[in-house]
Chain A
Amino acid sequence: MLQILVEALAKTYRVAERAPGLAGAVRGLVRRRWREVHALVDVSFSLEAGELLAFIGPNGAGKSTTVKILSGILRPTSGRVEVGGLVPYEDRVRHVARIGVVFGQRSQLWWDLPVLDGFDLLADIYRVDPAHYRRRRDELVAMLRLEPLLGQPVRQLSLGQRMRAEFAAALLHDPAILFLDEPTIGLDAPSKLAVRAFVRRLNREQGVTVLITTHDMHDVEALAERVIVIGQGRLLADGPFESLRASVLAERRLYIDFAGPAPELEIRGVTVRTRTERSLELAFDPAVIATPKLIAAIATQHAVEDIHVDEPAIEEVITRFYDLHDAREA
């Protein structure tokens, strides 16, 4: 079942612009210059119910704008959007009752209220049936290990604790779709793992459709089967993460520690990336020279202490991809 449909979506902001300094400020008083910023240009994609889709892209790429349009906060400049058969910004009230949203940089819980009071208030706001609410709340509290936090005001929670509470808050009304805008930003490693495990469970066990935006490539690797890459408001790629990785970079890395000084190497298809006195980092394409062959070639000629092969870091894959499309933030 098709749950999200986006066609030729565009969003253009008009921002006032002025030259820097006092002169610019004075000129701005008299005559204001406007500049158009194209946050989204012709973005189209669709999402089936129960899918888990990750949106990645550099800062300012238009990820959050997309989420805000899909969740009904912003209206697009043009294009067609349907979520669960509704146009979010036309039918806002009915639409938002069926979705849950977590913005990693904002809080939807009330700063001065204990967590539990915030949940109660949300249940009232979403008109959740009291018996159903208690069941759902207890389930989420158990899944997210919130029990010890329920009596604490939100302002006293650590970021990791707060994000767990935020997830529960977004799900009390049983939304069919969950939008996550950078939910792991600023979290420590265990909290990130907890968030990923929870999102995966939610998607697999409860069938919640998830659209997540993130900068953290480990989020993507751990969660998403499908990835959309967006840059400068344009959709650059849409497909399985593995194929994205394969298409951008087949390159491998070889790290070697030598018993003596690092030698000069002249092997076809291999470049030296970094060199220290007794170690080398090589980049090579396995299609040109197979990994065992390369290792054998080096180990037979030089006294090697340690050797290991690695793939380029995920961040690097993505940065290359952005550069390939000239999509890095200006």
Chain B
Amino acid sequence: MQSVRPYLAAFRTRFQLMLQYRAAALAGFATQCWWGAIRIMVFAAFYGVHAAAAPISLADAITYIWLGQALLALLPWLADPEIGQAVRTGGVGYDRLRPLDAYGFWYARTLGWMLARAVPRAVLMLLAAGIVLPLVGLGAWAWRPPSGMAAALLFLPAFVLMTALAAAVLMLANIVVAASLNERGVNAVLTPLVIVFSGSLLPLDFFPDALRPFLHVQPFAGLVDIPFRIYFADLGGGAALQGLALQAGWTVVLVGLGRLAMERMMRRLEMQGG
């Protein structure tokens, strides 16, 4: 217990601090409702013409979109702003003075930041798209529960792994930010990469056949495509376990890479001034 105490404290503090930003959560929720509605209309139009060509049903596609909008803040498409700030203000120096594993310390804080942004938005989205929409007679456009008990149970570890993987991706971005003293470049590259390759923009099965073997094994698939397909039982049984293994494997690889990069970066770190 003593060994994880600092990391839990770092996580908890960041989570609590971020949770204060109610206006940001509401604004994010409103934006994501708006985009969700637009994307559903686009999909509906597409299904109206080409339903046979679609790899998943319209109902699944709609749930996919709501789920994606609800968990958007869990996607690692922006480096943790606290890291950029710490680098600019020299707070990184103080981080080096803590008797902690530097990677673990940042990871815990980044995780707290991500989850604190995601949780209120997800709860609001679930209320709006999962409960209010069916109640007002728009059930066809609603966020539906997982397809069966097995899917629901499998989605839990998939969700945990998607969060862990997302934090590992963010950590790599954070380290580049710390090394380059600027987050704009990192975010400009990261955002489109993550949005496209995670399946957030479009389920990966909608991409051309030739790309799919690659798309299904690259790390970003574990952020959206795999957990969401587990949710509506598109991936079940052995395929689901394979998906979980892929998520776990990439998490381990990216955490390992991040630790190496961080070690290197910290060795080179030079504090400015006097």
B274 located at the interface, meaning its Cβ lies under 8 Å from any Cβ of chain A in the complex: yes
Residue of A nearest to B92 (CB): A73
Q: B193 at the A/B interface (Cβ < 8 Å)?
A: no
A-B contact pairs, 17 of them (CB 8 A): A13-B270, A60-B274, A68-B93, A71-B97, A74-B270, A93-B101, A94-B99, A96-B98, A101-B97, A103-B93, A106-B91, A107-B91, A113-B13, A124-B6, A125-B6, A127-B5, A127-B6
Q: Judging by beta carbons under 8 Å apart, are A121 and B13 in contact?
A: yes
CA distance A120 to B8 in the complex (A): 13
Q: Which B residues between 135 and 169 are near A, CB-CB below 8 angstroms?
A: none
B10 contacts which chain A residues (CB < 8 A)?
121, 124-125
Give bound CA distance, A140 to B10, whole Å.
Answer: 23
B9-25, CB < 8 A from A: 9-10, 13, 17, 20
The proximity string for A residues 6-22 relative to B, scoring 1 for CB distances below 8 Å and 0 otherwise, is: 00000001000000000
A interface footprint on B92-106 (CB within 8 Å = 1, 0 otherwise): 011011111100000
Verify if A117 is at the interface (C-beta below 8 Å from B). yes
Closest residue of B by beta carbon distance from A120: B9
- Contacts A93-B100, A106-B93: A68 and B6 contacting too (C-beta < 8 A)? no
Q: Is A34's CB within 8 Å of the partner chain B?
A: no
B89 proximal to A (CB < 8 A): yes
Which residues in B have their C-beta under 8 angstroms from that of A74?
269-271
User: Within 8 Å of chain A (Cβ to Cβ): is B267?
Assistant: yes
Enumerate chain A residues within 8 angstroms of B2, measured Cβ to Cβ: 127
CB-CB nearest in chain A for B98: A125
| Chain A to chain B: the 7 pairs with minimum beta-carbon distance, closest first | A124-B9, A97-B99, A64-B274, A125-B6, A108-B94, A73-B96, A93-B99
**Most chain B CB atoms below 10 A, which of A60, A73, A105:** A73
Most buried by A among B89, B91, B96, B99: B99
Bound-state Cα–Cα, A93 to B10, Å = 17
Cβ contact within 8 Å between B17 and A72: no
Q: How far is the CA of A75 from the CA of B268 in the complex (A)?
A: 9
Shortest beta-carbon distance from B265 to chain A in Å: 13
Residue B55 interfacial (CB < 8 Å) = no
Q: Does A96 contact B274, Cβ atoms closer than 8 Å?
A: no
Complex-state Cα separation, A105 to B267, whole angstroms: 23
**Minimum distance in angstroms from B110 CB to a CB of chain A:** 16
- The answer to whether B5 touches A96, judged by C-beta atoms less than 8 angstroms apart, is no
Task: For A61, give the chain B residue with the smallest CB separation.
Answer: B274
Q: Does B273 contact A (CB under 8 A)?
A: yes
Smallest CB separation, A227 vs chain B (Å): 18
Q: What are the residues of chain A within 8 A of B96 when measuring CB–CB?
A: 72-73, 92, 96
Which residues from B are CB-within-8-Å of A182? Answer: 274
Chain B's nearest CB lies how many Å from the CB of A52?
A: 21
Most A Cβ at <10 Å: residue of B13, B20, B97, B100: B97
Interface flag for B90 (CB, 8 Å): yes
By a CB distance below 8 angstroms, the chain A residues around B13 are: 110, 113, 117, 121
In the complex, what residues of A have CB within 8 A of residue B91's CB? 106-107
Interface membership of A152, Cβ < 8 A: no
Q: Are A68 and B94 in contact (CB under 8 A)?
A: no
* Cross-chain contact A106 with B89 (CB below 8 angstroms): yes
Collect the chain B residues with CB atoms within 8 Å of residue A93's CB. 99-101
Question: How many Å lie between the Cα of A68 and that of B96 in the bound state?
Answer: 10
> Contacts A125-B10, A127-B2 known; A73 to B97 CB distance under 8 Å?
yes
Closest Cβ neighbor of B85 among chain A residues? A111
Q: Which residues 65-117 of A sit at the B interface, judged by CB distance below 8 A?
A: 65, 68, 71-75, 92-94, 96-97, 99, 101, 103, 105-108, 110, 112-113, 117
Please tell me which one of the listed residues A68, A94, A112 contacts residue B271 in the complex, with CB atoms under 8 A apart: A68
Known contacts A94-B99, A106-B93, A125-B6; A64 and B269 CB within 8 A of each other? no
Bound-state Cα–Cα, A92 to B93, Å: 13
Which A residues lie within 8 Å of B8 (CB)? 124
